[in-house]
Amino acid sequence: MMSALSKSAAASLPLEQDLPVVALHSLVRQFGTTIVLDDITLRVERGELFGLLGPSGSGKTTLIKLITGIDKANHGTVHMLGELMPKLSMLQRFGYMAQSDALYNELTAKENLIFFASLYGLRGQQRNKRIQEAMEIVHLLEHLNKPVAAYSGGMKRRLSLAIALLHEPELLVLDEPTVGIDPVLRQSIWKELKLLRERGTTIILTTHVMDEAEKCDRLGLLRDGKMIAIGTPEELKQSSDSSTLEEAFIVLGGGMRA
């Protein structure tokens, strides 16, 4: 039986549901004397679709690599789902789609999916079911047995997304997920992302496309390695007295309106 002291201690511990899905505190990442990320602090809550918006070279991909544990900060901490990162066992709790497709071109799409499913601990009927479902989401089911070498660039992006979705992760981290995808499929993928969020999946994605940024619940604006503002698209426009996100980004970054 739990003692009164144990009960009191347990009650004082935060439930995992109450913790942010991602918590970054005072992150600094530098390569030699070049500071790529400078004092980044951020919380992403459960069920959010959070966008990192910024031009090429602003630090978006580096920040994603720190969140997923692929890279490690020089200073500061990253917590994912309450765990200090990097931590190998967290691989089964988040899905990651890199900016460059990490696929085995000599294998078929199905063979790629089976390989990544094994990393996620998926086996047997559950694995086969999830392969079918993930490929259906990205409209590639009819190309399941085709060698990846025969895929177009857009098809490879969609296969990378299917791999990230395979194990129904609590957190989905996507680095420029719609680059190289035609407008119709881009719309379809965004529809699926919204459905995933409605089912409780937390999504963090990077983009430099303003109409995609508008679809996010909240945005973090990155410029020259600094987080210059965080808020909903509407809050960012209001705080900068701007009519568009593009204008808000310029104003909040210290630039001048045209």
CATH classification at residue 130: 3.40.50.300
Q: Is residue 215 part of a domain?
A: no
Q: Is residue 175 part of a domain?
A: yes
Does position 49 have pLDDT exceeding 90, yes or no? yes
| Tally of domains within the chain | 1
pLDDT in tens, 108-146: 999 999 999 999 999 999 999 999 999 998 889 999 999
Cα angle for residues 50, 215, 258 (degrees, 5° grid): 100
pTM value?
0.86
Q: Is residue 10 part of a domain?
A: no
Across residues 222-249, what is the average pLDDT? 94
Model pLDDT, residue 256: 47
Among 137, 117, 141, 135, residue whose Cα is nearest residue 127: 117
Q: Is residue 228 part of a domain?
A: no
143 φ, ψ to 5°? -105, 15
153-165 and 183-198 helices cross at what angle (nearest 10)? 10
How far is residue 247 from each of residues 57, 195, 210, 230, 239, measured CA to CA in Å?
A: 19, 29, 10, 15, 11
Beginning with the edge strand found earlier in the chain, give each strand of the sheet holding 22-31 in spatial order: 34-44, 22-31, 75-80, 83-84
Q: Is residue 152 part of a domain?
A: yes
Could you list the residue range(s) of the whole structural domain that residue 103 is in? 18-207
Q: Is residue 134 part of a domain?
A: yes
Q: Is residue 8 part of a domain?
A: no
Indicate if the alpha-carbon torsion angle 50, 58, 55, 184 is positive or negative.
negative
